[in-house]
Amino acid sequence: MVNPGLTINLFDFQEQAVIKLVDLTVDKNSKQTVTLKAPTGSGKTIILIDYIEEYLCNAESNTAFIWLCPGKGDLEEQSRGKMQKFAPHRNTQNLFDALLNGFTAESTTFINWELVTKRGNTAIRDSERKNLYDRIADAHRNGIEFIVIIDEEHSHNTAKARNIIDAFAAKNIIRVSATAIENKRYEFIEVDELDVINAGLITKALYVNEGISDGVEVTDDYDYLLDLADAKRKAIAARYVEIGKAIRPLVLIQFPNGQPETVAAVEKKLQSMGYTYDNGMVSKWMSEDKRDLPDNLTQNDGIPVFLLMKQAISTGWDCPRAKILVKLRENMSESFEIQTIGRIRRMPETVHYEDDLLDFCYVYTFDEKYKAGLLANIDKAYETRRLFLKDKCKTFTLEKQIRDLDFDGLGEREVLNKVYDSLVRKYKLGADKKQNKLLFMERNYRFGEEILGRALYGQYVYTERVMESTDYHTTRKRVDTHEHGIYLLHSVDAIKTTIGMPTGKVKTMLERLFRKGGNASKKLLNLNTAEFYAFVVNNEHLLKEEFREVTAEMSKQITLNFYPRTSAFYIPEQDFFKYDSGVKDEVEYLNNAYQEYTSGYATSLVRSTCEMLFEQYCENRDDIDWVYKNGDTGQQYFSIVYANGIEKQRLFYADYIVKMKDGTVWVIETKGGEFKGKDKNIDRQIENKFNAFKDYAKAKGIQWGFVRDKDSRLYINNTEFAESMSDEHWVALDDVF
C-alpha cells in the first residue's frame, strides 16, 4: 500500500494493520470503537498516518481527524512532525489552530490531553473552552464527520476526557496502546510483537537482571544495580566501536517518585563512577527538574550516558540508543510497569546486528511485582452505566448505622494479650524461647540477620511474558539498622492494616513479642536488633495473617461500651452499575428498584454466583414489590456497624434490601457458598457480621438473613451462625423467604 503523497514504505505487518483499520471504519456493521494494540517501537504513528491517508483517499474525504495525545513528552508535536515529514501534503494543526480556523475536511488536529483536561490549566480559558465546542458544532453543521484517534489511551481516562470525546460525536474512535486488553465491546486489532522484532525495529529480546546470581549478597541496591548497568553499557559501547558504529548507549535510571534523598544518593554514586552533570555524562528529566538535557539527547551519538527519570516518562518518548533500564525502588512494595520497557526496546538503526549483546536490551531491578501499568477502565470486560430510581422507591427509608468515632476499640495492652494468646494457642508455645524458635521455623518462619528478597531473571522475547514469569533468584542483605529502618517501617505499616492501629503501637507490640529486652511478660522470642528487623521484614505476610486471624475471632459484642451512631438511609436516586454488554437473551428485571435494570447487570461477569442466583430468584417471585442492590462502600449506602475481634468498629454493607408487596422489609447478605464440598466464603469477618446483623434486625423489627449457594440452590440462615452449610441452621431459601 503506497500512496503517491507518502514518503515511506510500510512493513508488511504495518500495511496489514492499515488495511484492517480502513476495513473496520468503512464497514457500517462494525462497532464504533476500534482498539489497536501495537508494541512500543512498532511504528504506531506511521500506521496511523498511512491509515488517515488511505481513508481520505479511498473512503470519505469529508472527514476531520482528531489525534489526542498524552501530555508527557510533547507527543502531539512529535506525532504532528512525523505527519508533516511523511505526508507533507496533508493539513495538520494543533488545538489553537483549530480554535482559530475550525475543523475542516481532510484536516488532522493534534491535541495534547492536558490542554483540555488538566485542572487549573490556563491554556484554554472558559471562554475559549466554549469556543472549542462551538468549533465542533460548526463542523457538524457543515457536514464534517469526525474520527477520533486516542493515542496511548490508558494515560487519560477521566470524566473530562470522556466529555471531550463525546463532544465530537465521532463516526469512529480508534484507541491505540501497547497495553490494551481485548474487549468484546470493541473491534480489536493486534500487531504481533514477533513481527516487529523480525522487521528489525525492536530488540530480539530483553534480559532481566543478567549477572545476578541466586543467593547473591547485596550491600546497597543502588550501588549493585548501577555497577551492573555500567558494566553492560561499557561492553555495548565497546562493541559498537568494534563494528564502526557511532552509537553511544544510554542507561535510563527510573525512580517511581523521584524523592530528593533517593536522587541525591544516585547522583553521589554516579559521581564516584566519574559521571556528573558537569562533564555532560548525566542528564535529569523530571517534571520539576530538567537538568542538562542537550538537544541531541535522543540522537545515536548523544553525549549523556545516564538519564535520571521518573515513572511518568513512560509513553511518547523515543530514544533508540537507550539500551539499559535501571528501575530503583523507594519502597519494597512497588510494582514494575512493563510498558516502561518500550523505552529501551527500539533498535538504534532499525536493524539487527546479529550480535546478542547489541540485539538485546537490559533491565536491572529488585522489584518483585510486575504489571502492565495503569489500564483504562474502558479496557475492562464490562461497561459502567448510570440508572435512575423508580418513583415508588424514592420515599423508602431505613435507619443505617455509622461508626462512633469516640470509641477506638481495645487498647494496646488488650490487643497484645490477644495476639500473644492466639500465637501460644496456635503453635503450642511456652517459656523456652529456643523451643519457640523451632516451632516458628516449623511453620515456615524465617530467621537470621539477612533480609531476603527476590529478583526476576531471564530472557524474554515478548515484553508481556515478564508479568507471567516465575523465575526468581534469592537476594540477601545483611541488616543495617540505619539503612533498613525504612524496610522495617514499611512491613509494620503493612501489618497494621489488618488491625487498624497506629504504626508506632504495632511496632511496640512486635518488639514486646519478639525482640530482646524490655518487659519479658509476653516475650515469645529473644531476637537481637538485626534479627528482629529481618524477622519482621522476611515474615511480613505470615505476621499479617496472624493479626488477621485475631481480628476474625468472634467479638464479644454484648460487652461493647459503644453505641453506633445512626442516620436515615434513602436509596440513591441515581447510581452506576457494572453492565455486561455480552449478555445473551437479555430481559428486563421488573422487580428491580431501578429503571431499565436488566439481566445484563446480573451476569457472572459482574456478580458473584450467589448474587446472580438471588436476583434471578427474586425476579421470579410475584409477591416482591422491589429489590435494591446496595453498594459496597460509601456514605450514600446502607450500612451496619460490627466489631471485629479487637473491638474495632467496621462498616458492613448488606447486599440487598427487598420490599414485599405486603410491606415486609427483608435485608439480605449474600456470601460464597460451597462447591464440591469446598467452602467458597472468603470473608474472615462473617461471624462478627452475622451477629451484628442479627442484633440490628431484632432492634429494628425487620426480616434478615445470610444467603449462600450450594449446587445452584440458595440457602438462608438467620438463627445461629454456622460455618458449614450442612448445619441445620442453613435451610432452603423457599422455606423462610
Ramachandran category for residue 163: left, alpha or beta (phi over 0 → left; psi -120 to 50 → alpha):
alpha
For residue 725, CA distances in Å to 285, 286, 617, 681, 694 come to: 59, 57, 20, 11, 18
pLDDT on residue 705: 94
Highest mean pLDDT among 173-187, 329-343, 499-513: 499-513
Largest CA distance in the chain: 89
- Model confidence, pTM: 0.79
Convert the pLDDT of each residue in 155-180 to its tens digit: 555 556 677 788 899 999 999 988 88
With cut-offs at 50, 70 and 90, classify the pLDDT of residue 362: very high
Could you tell me the CA-to-CA distances from 490 to 332, 506, 540, 568 in Å, in that order? 7, 12, 10, 40
The average pLDDT across 6-21 equals 90
| Within this chain, domains 12-198 and 383-404+560-736 share the same CATH topology | no
- pLDDT(502) > 80: yes
What architecture is domain 383-404+560-736? 3-Layer(aba) Sandwich (3.40)
From residue 364, alpha-carbon distances to 212, 226, 324, 474 in Å are 9, 8, 8, 15
% of the chain beyond a pLDDT of 70: 90
629 close to 393: Cβ distance less than 8 angstroms: no
**Predicted local distance difference test score (pLDDT) of residue 684:** 82
Tell me what pLDDT residue 73 has.
Answer: 53
Q: How far apart are CA 644 and CA 531, in angstroms?
A: 32
Instruction: Please report the pLDDT score of residue 322 as a whole number.
Output: 95
The pLDDT value given to residue 122: 46
Dihedral in degrees, nearest 10, Cα atoms 506, 509, 511, 515:
-140
Complete DSSP assignment for 475-509: EEEE--TTTTHHHHHHHHHHHHTTTT--HHHHHHH
C-alpha distance from residue 214 to each of 471, 660, 678 (Å): 11, 65, 38
Q: Give just the sign of the alpha carbon dihedral 274, 280, 285, 291.
A: positive
Which residue in 148, 138, 141 sits closest to 168, CA to CA?
A: 148
Expressed in angstroms, the distance from the first to the final Cα of the chain is 67
Residue whose cell numbers read 474472615: 684
Q: What is the pLDDT of residue 187?
A: 94
* Residue 334, pLDDT above cutoff 80: no
Q: In this structure, what C-alpha cell is assigned to residue 540? A: 511480613
Is pLDDT above 70 for 630?
yes
Q: Would the pLDDT of 328 be above 70?
A: yes
Question: What does the DSSP 8-state code read for residue 213?
Answer: P
CA angle 564–568–572, rounded 5-degree value: 125
Measured between alpha carbons, how far is 1 from 17 in angstroms, rounded to an integer? 11
Q: What is the pLDDT of residues 250-262, one digit of tens each?
A: 999 998 776 788 8
What local confidence, expressed as pLDDT, does residue 6 receive?
64
Does the pLDDT value for residue 423 go beyond 80?
yes
Identify the residue whose cell numbers are 489526542.
68
Instruction: Say whether 155 sits in a helix, a strand or coil.
Output: helix
449 half-sphere exposure, CB direction, 13 A CA radius? 9
For the domain bounded by 12-198, which CATH number is listed? 3.40.50.10810
What is the predicted pLDDT for the residue at 10? 92
Q: What is the mean pLDDT of the chain?
A: 88
337: confidence class by pLDDT, cuts 50, 70, 90? confident
CA 277 to chain CA mean position, Å? 35
CA 351 to chain centre: 35
Q: What is residue 26's predicted lDDT score, i.e. its pLDDT?
A: 96
Comparing CA positions, the residue from 51, 71, 59, 55 lying closest to residue 10 is 51
Whether the predicted pLDDT of 314 surpasses 50: no
Q: What is the pLDDT of residue 117?
A: 65
- C-alpha torsion sign, points 566, 567, 569, 574: negative
pLDDT confidence of residue 288: 63
- pLDDT tens across 518-527, in order? 888 899 999 9
Give the model's pLDDT for residue 1. 44
Beta carbons of 643 and 551 less than 8 angstroms apart: no
Q: What is the C-alpha separation between 560 and 644, in angstroms, rounded?
A: 11
In whole angstroms, give the CA distance from residue 196 to residue 44: 11
CATH class of 205-371: alpha beta
What share of the chain has pLDDT > 90, as a percent? 63
Under the banding of pLDDT at 50, 70 and 90, the label for residue 379 is: low
**Whole-angstrom distance, CA of residue 364 vs CA of residue 252:** 10
In order of 107, 353, 713, 733, the CA distances from 104 in angstroms are 6, 46, 61, 64
User: What's the pLDDT tens digit per position in 426-465?
Assistant: 999 999 999 999 999 999 999 999 999 999 999 999 998 9
pLDDT digits (tens, 9 = 90+) for 537-568: 999 999 999 998 888 776 654 445 567 889 99
List pLDDT tens digits, range 221-246.
889 999 999 999 999 999 999 999 99
- State which amino acid sits at residue 735: D
What is the reported pLDDT for 127? 56
Give phi and psi for 306, each to the nearest 5: -130, 135
DSSP 41: T
* CA dist., res. 14 & res. 46, Å (int): 8
Domain chopping of the chain, boundaries: 12-198, 205-371, 383-404+560-736, 412-557
pLDDT tens-digit map of 108-158: 999 887 776 666 554 455 555 557 888 999 999 999 999 999 987 555 555
Whether the per-residue pLDDT at 504 is higher than 50: the answer is yes
* From 304-313, 617-626, 701-710, the region with the lowest mean pLDDT: 304-313
Q: What is the pLDDT of residues 560-594, one digit of tens each?
A: 556 788 999 999 999 999 998 888 889 999 999 99
Report the SS3 class of residue 633.
coil
Task: Encode pLDDT of 175-226 as tens digits.
Answer: 998 888 787 778 999 999 999 999 999 999 999 999 999 999 998 888 999 9
- Model confidence over 15-68: pLDDT tens digits? 999 999 999 999 999 999 999 999 988 999 999 999 999 999 999 999 999 999
Do the beta carbons of residue 646 and residue 638 sit within 8 Å? no
Cα dihedral 33→37→38→39 (10° resolution): 150
Which pLDDT score is estimated for 221? 87
What pLDDT, on a 0 to 100 scale, did the predictor assign at position 51?
A: 97
The pLDDT value recorded for residue 130 is 57
Asked if residue 370 lies in contact with residue 338, where contact means CB atoms within 8 angstroms, the answer is: yes
Q: What CA–CA distance (Å, rounded) separates 571 from 656?
A: 11
User: What DSSP designation does 219 have?
Assistant: S
